Amino acid sequence: MAVKVEAVGVGKRYDGRRPSDAIVALRDFTLQIFAGEFLAIVGPSGCGKSTFLNAVAGLERIDEGRLFMDGVPITKAGADRGVCFQDFALFPWMTVRENVEFSLEAQGRPRAERREIARKYIELVQLSRFEDRYPYELSGGMKQRCALARLVAGDPAVLLMDEPLASVDAQTRLILQNEILRIWGENRPTAQRKTVIFVTHSIDEAVFLADRIAVMTSRPGQLKEIVVNPLPRPREERLRGEPTFSRLTMDIWDLIRDAAVKAIET
Amino acid sequence: MARPRQAATLGWRLVLPLALVVLWVGLSQVLTSPSAKMMLPPPEAVGGAAAQLALTVHPLFGMPPLLVHAAHSLERLALGYLAAIAVAVPLGIAIGYFRGADTYVNFLVQAMRPISPVAWIPLALAWFGVGITTVVFIVFYGAFFPIVANTIAGVRGTSRTYVRAAVASGCGQLRILRRIILPAALPTILTGMRVGLGVGWMSIVAAELVGTQSGLGYLISEARFHLDIESVVVGMLAIGVLGVLSDRGMRWLQTVLVPWQPRA
Ligand SMILES: Nc1ncnc2c1ncn2[C@@H]1O[C@H](COP(=O)(O)OP(=O)(O)O)[C@@H](O)[C@H]1O
Ligand SMILES: [Mg+2]
C-alpha cells in the first residue's frame, strides 16, 4: 500500500514567554499513514494530537524531523488537505452554501461550478433545506454536517479531523459517525477512498471508525503503539455489541489509562 | 410575540423623557420671576418659539428658519462624517492588519485622539476661515477617531480560528482580508461608526457656534446673543431629535449589513 503521509522523527516545541515556559509538544514522532486508510489518533489530552494534525495541514511549522505528503515535504497549507476543527470554525457571516463553497472559492473555481459542487455536498449531508441559513440558525449537529460538507467540497485527498464530534450530543454523534464513513468512501474500493487522520478522545469512536488506531504517549507526544482494527467493513451498528469491539476498546484504554489519569491530575 | 414587546419597550423608553417634561412644567409653575424664566423658559414659551421657527417662512430663505438651519447642519455633518469613514476605515484596516503600518501610524493616532475637536476650532478658523470647510473639518476630526479605533480593534480581534480555517483551505492573503477579516470586523466597525456619528453631532454644534452664519449651532449662539433663551432650547431639542433619528438609522444599517448575527 502506498504511503500517503509520513512523519519521521517529528519534534515540535512551543516557546513560551520565558525559556522555562517552553513546551515540547511532540518528540521523535514517527508514523506512516497509507493512502485510502482511515487512521485514528488517540492519546491523553495535551499530548500533541492537534499539534500533529496542524503540522500535517501546514498550519504549524515543525522544529525537528520531516513530514511528507506523497513523498514531498510539507511546507505550507494546500487544497490537497482539508481540515475540520473541533469547534466547526464555520464562518458566521457566510450561509451554509457559502461556507461549503469557500474552499472552491479559495481555489478560484468559477461561480457556477462552485454552486453545483456545493449543492451536491449539501445534499449529501442533508442540509438542502438550510442552504441559505446562517450558522447561528443551525443546531450543533447541523453545524457539524455543514463543516463536513465544507471539508469535502474542495475534494482534498487527505481529510484531517480534529475531534470533529466532540461538541455534538451522543445520539447525533452516532449518526454522524456513519456519515463520516460514507464521506470517506467506505463503500468504495480502497483506491477511491480518501485518506483520513481522525483525532478523537473517544476510544470506541476510534474503534468503530478506523482501520488502525495510533495510541500516543503523554507529552511530549510519541507513538506508543499502533493497534490494527480487525473489525470487518462496512462497519455496522451491531458491531458495537460484539466481544471484539469491547475487547479492543479495553485494550486501548489499558494503553493510555495511566497517562490519561496523570493528564487530569497535572 | 415581538410586537407587543416592542411597543412595551417603546413605552418604557418614553417614561423618563416624559417625567422630565412633567418636572419642567412643574418647575415653571413655581419659578415665575423674570430671572428664573431666563434660566428655565416655560414649556409654552418654548413651544411658541418652536412654532415660530418651524412654521413661519423666513423672508430671505423662503423656508422656515429651523428647517434651513437643520438642513445646513445635516449637510455639513454628512460631508465630514462620510469623509471620516472614507479615511478612517481603510486606515484602521491597514493599521490592524499590517505590522508595519501599526508602528508608524498608531502612535500618531493615539496621540491625537485625546485632543478634543473643539480644541481644533481656532486653528481650523485660521486655515479655512468662517464657513462650511471649518465645520466639515471639525466634524471629520471628531468622527474620525472612534471609527479608526474600532476598525483597528475589529481587525485585531478577528478570531485566529477563522483565519486558520481559511489558510487551511489554501486561501490567499487578499482573499483572507476580504472574506474573513473584513466581515469579522464589520460589527465592530459599525459600532465605531455609530459612536463617531454621535461625536460628529457634538462637534458640529461646537463648530457652528463660532465657525459659520447658519446651522443649528449658529441658531443657538444667535438666540443667546439676543437673550432669546426659548429659541436656544428649541435648537437643543432639534439636535436631540435629529441625533436620535440618525442613531436609529445607524442601527438599521447594522441589521442590514450584519444579517448573520442573532437579533439581540
Ligand atoms: N500555540 C501554542 N502555544 C503554546 N503552547 C501550545 C500551543 N498549542 C498547543 N500548545 C501546548 O502543546 C501541548 C500539546 O497541545 P495539543 O497538540 O493541542 O494537544 P492535544 O490536541 O493532544 O490535546 C499542550 O500542552 C498545549 O498546551
Ligand atoms: Mg486537541
The model's pLDDT over A22-35, given as tens digits with 9 standing for 90+, comes to 999 999 999 999 99
Report the C-alpha gap between B140 and B78 in whole angstroms: 9
- Distance from residue A214's CA to the centre of ligand 2 (Å): 15
A25 Cβ below 6 A of ligand 1: yes
Reply yes or no: is the peptide bond before residue B43 cis, omega within 30 of 0.
no
Closest CB to B260: pick one of A87, A92, A107.
Answer: A92
Structural domain includes residue A210: yes
Q: Quickly state the pLDDT bin for A50 (edges 50, 70, 90).
A: very high
Residue B2 has pLDDT above 70, yes or no: no
A48 Cβ below 6 A of ligand 1: yes
Structural domain includes residue A186: yes
Distance (Å) from the alpha carbon of A210 to chain B's nearest alpha carbon: 24
Residue A219 has pLDDT above 50, yes or no: yes
Domain boundary, last residue among A128, A155, A182: A155
A240 and A164 within one domain:
yes
Residue nearest to atom 27 of ligand 1 (CA): A46
Average pLDDT over residues B143-162: 93
Residue A15 has pLDDT above 60, yes or no: yes
In this prediction, residue B1 carries a pLDDT of 42
ipTM above 0.90, yes or no: no
In this prediction, residue A262 carries a pLDDT of 78
SS3 (DSSP) at B158: coil
Which ligand is closest in space to the CA of residue A43? 1
A167 or A90, higher pLDDT: A90
A254 and A180 within one domain:
yes
* Full residue range of the structural domain in which residue A242 is found: 3-80+156-265
Chain B contact probe: residue of A61, A83, A87, A91 with most B CBs at under 10 A: A91
The partner residues of A228 in beta bridges, in order of sequence, read: A212
Q: Do B171 and A106 count as a contact with CB atoms less than 8 A apart?
A: yes
In this prediction, residue B6 carries a pLDDT of 61
- The 3-state DSSP composition of chain A as helix, strand, coil percent (nearest 5) reads 40, 25, 35
List the CATH number of the domain containing A195. Answer: 3.40.50.300
Residue nearest to atom 9 of ligand 1 (CA): A51
In this prediction, residue B252 carries a pLDDT of 94
Residue A266 has pLDDT above 80, yes or no: no
A98 and A59 within one domain:
no
Q: Considering only CA atoms, which of B87, B88, B80, B195 is closest in space to residue B138?
A: B80
Distance (Å) from the alpha carbon of A242 to chain B's nearest alpha carbon: 38
Q: Do A83 and B172 count as a contact with CB atoms less than 8 A apart?
A: no
In this prediction, residue B7 carries a pLDDT of 61
Average pLDDT over residues B107-113: 83
Q: Do A89 and B162 count as a contact with CB atoms less than 8 A apart?
A: yes
A57 and A109 within one domain:
no
- Distance from residue A185's CA to the centre of ligand 2 (Å): 25
- Distance from residue A54's CA to the centre of ligand 1 (Å): 11
Largest CA distance in chain B: 77
User: Tell me: the pLDDT tens digits for B13-40?
Assistant: 888 888 998 999 899 888 888 888 888 8
pTM of the shown model: 0.86
Q: Considering only CA atoms, which of A97, A84, A77, A106 is closest in space to residue A197?
A: A84
A57 and A13 within one domain:
yes
**Nearest 5 degrees, angle CA A13-CA A16-CA A20?**
90
Domain boundary, last residue among A133, A155, A177: A155
Residue B245 has pLDDT above 70, yes or no: yes
A169 and A147 within one domain:
no
Please give the number of the atom of ligand 1 that sits closest to the Cα of A162: 21
A96 and A130 within one domain:
yes
A248 and A162 within one domain:
yes
Cβ A260 vs Cβ A266: under 8 Å: no
A139 and A165 within one domain:
no
A171 and A255 within one domain:
yes
Cβ A26 vs Cβ A220: under 8 Å: yes
Structural domain includes residue A85: no
Please give the number of the atom of ligand 1 that sits closest to the Cα of A60: 1
Residue B146 has pLDDT above 90, yes or no: yes
CA dihedral B91, B95, B99, B105 (to 10 degrees): 80
- Distance from residue A182's CA to the centre of ligand 1 (Å): 31
User: Given ligand 1 and candidates A13, A21, A41, A47, which is best to mutate, with the most ligand atoms within 8 Å of its CB?
Assistant: A47
**B57-257 adopts what CATH topology?**
MetI-like fold (1.10.3720)
The rounded mean pLDDT for chain A is 93
Q: Quickly state the pLDDT bin for A83 (edges 50, 70, 90).
A: very high
Q: Where are the domains positioned within chain B?
A: 57-257
Domain boundary, last residue among A155, A170, A198: A155
Q: Quickly state the pLDDT bin for B107 (edges 50, 70, 90).
A: confident
Residue B5 has pLDDT above 70, yes or no: no
Residue nearest to atom 14 of ligand 1 (CA): A48
A202 and A253 within one domain:
yes
Q: With beta carbons under 8 A apart, name residues in chain B contacting A59.
A: 164, 167-168
Distance (Å) from the alpha carbon of A57 to chain B's nearest alpha carbon: 7
Please give the number of the atom of ligand 1 that sits closest to the Cα of A43: 22
What is the domain count for chain A?
2
A199 and A94 within one domain:
no
